[in-house]
């Protein structure tokens, strides 16, 4: 059984979740782990020097728990898939060696945590310009609404900081233009993943 982990990272509101949902519906034996599911409780989020709760930093996420979840998938992807309601099948019934299990990691700080980044066989990174990002963010309805000034005072500066740190760390990513159509983004990533699967040992 072959296991492949795909990362879908990038800027907030860049299209990560939309892409991930479509990949999840299109790839065989595919599960997903969302980084957002590992946010700490609001009372455990510190207030930074910028005056805002520090949601957009790595310490706001229980990365150990996320890595443990991914490790559980690596140890037994079929069991993990079944427990998440994913029907497990073979790509080729005649050749068991062609069995493939796929895990998608989706989140905005996947590649700033080396243990997690190292688990990914492929790393996609969606980007959009400042104005588009701010526009999309303002149209989102979050469980905890953004306080006034959060985007310019915290969200965007943290994105630039973490993107710079990611680039300086030397982690290899496939950059995806988030302004492309949803179909173009999906087709580009989907084709890339299948090429990887076909050459994956």
Task: Please enumerate in sequence order all residues whose Cβ is within 8 A of that of 187, keeping only pairs 6 or more positions apart, or say none.
Answer: none
| Alpha-carbon span 48 to 84, nearest angstrom | 36
pLDDT in tens, 74-117: 999 888 877 776 666 655 444 344 588 999 999 999 999 999 99
| Alpha-carbon span 18 to 37, nearest angstrom | 16
Above 70 in pLDDT, residue 10?
Answer: yes
Q: Which residue has the tokens 């509101």?
A: 13
Token output for 176? 């995806």
What positions carry a catalytic annotation?
Answer: 36
Q: Report domain extents, the chain.
A: 2-198
Is this model's pTM higher than 0.85 or not?
yes
Pick the CATH number of 2-198 from 3.40.50.300, 2.170.150.20, 3.20.20.70, 3.40.1120.10: 3.40.50.300
Q: In 3D, which of 195, 200, 154 has the Cα closest to residue 174?
A: 195
List b or e across 3-31, with b for residues whose CB sees 16 or more CB atoms inside 10 angstroms: bbbbbbbbbbbbbbebbbebbeeebebbb
């Amino acid at each position: 059984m072959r296991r492949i982990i795909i990362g879908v990272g990038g800027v907030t509101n860049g299209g990560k979740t939309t892409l991930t949902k479509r990949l999840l519906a299109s790839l065989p034996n595919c599960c997903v782990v969302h980084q957002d599911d590992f946010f700490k409780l609001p009372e455990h989020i510190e207030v930074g020097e910028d005056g805002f709760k520090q949601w957009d930093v790595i310490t706001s996420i229980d990365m150990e728990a996320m890595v443990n979840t991914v490790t559980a998938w690596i140890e037994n992807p079929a069991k993990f898939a079944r427990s998440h309601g994913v029907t497990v099948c073979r790509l080729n019934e005649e050749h068991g060696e062609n069995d493939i299990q796929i895990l998608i990691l989706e989140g905005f700080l996947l590649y700033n945590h080396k243990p997690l980044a190292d688990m990914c066989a492929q790393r996609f990174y969606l980007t959009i310009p400042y104005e588009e990002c701010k526009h999309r963010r303002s149209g989102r309805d979050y469980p905890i609404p953004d306080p006034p000034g959060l985007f310019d005072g915290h969200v965007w500066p943290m994105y630039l900081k973490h993107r710079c740190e990611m680039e300086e760390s030397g982690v290899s990513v496939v950059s995806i233009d988030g302004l492309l159509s949803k179909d173009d983004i999906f087709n580009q990533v989907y084709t890339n993943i299948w090429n990887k699967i076909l050459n994956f040992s």
